[in-house]
Amino acid sequence: MADAAQKAFDRFDTDKDGEISLAELKQGLEKSLKIELSDKRVKELMDAFDASGDGALQIDEMVTINLFRNKLESLVREEKRLAVEAKQKAEEEEKQAALAAARLEILNEKEPTTSDRFVSILPYLFPLMDGLAYGRFLLSTEDAAANPAVVFLAVLYGLYRAVPFSGFIAFFALNFLAGTPSINRLIRYNMQQAIFVDIALFFPGLAGGLLGALNLNFPTAIQELSTDAIFVTLLAVLGYCTVSSLFGVAPDKLPLISNSVNDRMPTIDMFDDSGSFIPRQLRQEEGDEDTDKKDDK
């Protein structure tokens, strides 16, 4: 092997300077192996046998042609393996991208259109109608009665109350539509939030009923002031939700309420690879199983 390496070295070292440069190695290998090699491939071979790292091969670093061939074949196999892995990874990424796109089609998380923004504020009519009772003192004044907006609300409220069980119908309709993933997320979010705002209006009425049952009668001025405060707060909340929605931004800054809505909103990870919805409890059970498997390992 030493003699073979010496002969190869003498044949490769064309300028007889005692070392084999990159160009000499390329020329010698192409002549011996009768194949054309790229500069990159020759550099890989040089790096594999250049123990000193000086960019050239000395006699003690020279190997036989067979070892060069074996190393070259090894590099080719490794490159093919990496190419196959890169292709598989690209295909997997393409598959995941297609799956994500399909999920987005199922769960409408797109930027709301202009019509979506206007539709998204309609659910807040539900808590507004139920909250008008708290504005009875403010809306019954002579100045308010002459206001076209108040007249419009009065007509709308009359139509709302003319429908039997209108409150229950509105509640169940919003709750059902909020679970329809094809509806734009902003609309679904506002449907859920309108329900929670309406539920929040139940507590002041409950508190008033309890105080009445305990025969705790407050002065009329205090009763009017507290009722007006509830109504003004409701208007402020609905105003914020309306303006934010018209700008296409989910009104998710309401204390307690928005957090509860966010917990109920479906996300992409709630759908499996086939696009089927996975119930929250089932996802939790699968997560617990995965955790147990990791712990066992």
User: Which tens digit of pLDDT belongs to each residue from 38-66?
Assistant: 888 888 888 888 888 888 888 888 887 88
Homologous superfamily of 2-84 in CATH? EF-hand (1.10.238.10)
pLDDT in tens, 222-240: 778 889 999 999 999 999 9
Per-residue pLDDT, averaged over 20-38, amounts to 86
215 burial (CB, 10 Å; 0-12 / 13-18 / 19+) is exposed
- β-pair partners for 20: 57
Shortest CA distance to 160 belongs to which of 223, 120, 152? 152
Q: In the chain, which residues fall in CATH 1.10.238.10?
A: 2-84
In the predicted model, is pLDDT for residue 140 greater than 60?
yes
| Spatial CB neighbours of 15, under 8 Å, sequence gap ≥ 6 | 24
Shortest CA distance to 109 belongs to which of 295, 265, 290? 265
Dist. CA 121–CA 229, nearest whole Å? 23
Q: What is the mean pLDDT of the chain?
A: 83
Question: pTM (2 decimals)?
Answer: 0.60
